[in-house]
Amino acid sequence: MGGGKKRRTLTQMEKAQRAKQREERRSKAKKERRASMLAESKAARIIPPDPGDERIISQLRSMKVITPYTVASRFNLVLSVAKDFLEECHRRGIITYVSGGRNLRIYKPSER
């Protein structure tokens, strides 16, 4: 009863084709931006900050309790890198070891 679908005119088909091409370009550009941002953020997460930098030291001194998780979230690091960073800061005397076990170490800013 309903019959077949009506055919589009040439201009309607051209407009649809242009819209489809425009949408493909947009999605391709969006994917490229997302990939570059992801690669950039991954590289930043494995490079620890310099323990001798005054801005880093002042941020650590402003914290009451320093744990690997708080350092990882504040400086955008992976937990293993944050643990190594805290050990280096402890060796340099920037922070003092308070307590902890095998899984978690708790530090506080040193009294300098």
Per-residue model confidence (pLDDT) at position 23: 95
Q: How many domains does the chain have?
A: 2
Q: Both 104 and 54 in a single domain?
A: yes
HEC profile for 56-98? HHHHHHCCCCECHHHHHHHHCCCHHHHHHHHHHHHHHCCEEEE
Q: What is the gyration radius of the CA atoms in the chain, in angstroms?
A: 27
* Tens of pLDDT, residues 76-112: 888 999 999 999 999 999 999 999 888 889 999 998 6
> Is residue 29, in this structure, part of any structural domain at all?
yes
With 0.75 as the threshold, say if the pTM is over it.
Answer: no
Residue 59 domain boundaries: 48-109
Q: Both 60 and 98 in a single domain?
A: yes
CATH at residue 65? 1.10.10.10
Give the rounded percent of residues in the chain with a pLDDT score beyond 70: 93
Rounded Cα distance, 22 and 24, in Å: 5
> Is residue 39, in this structure, part of any structural domain at all?
yes
* Tens of pLDDT, residues 11-22: 999 999 999 999
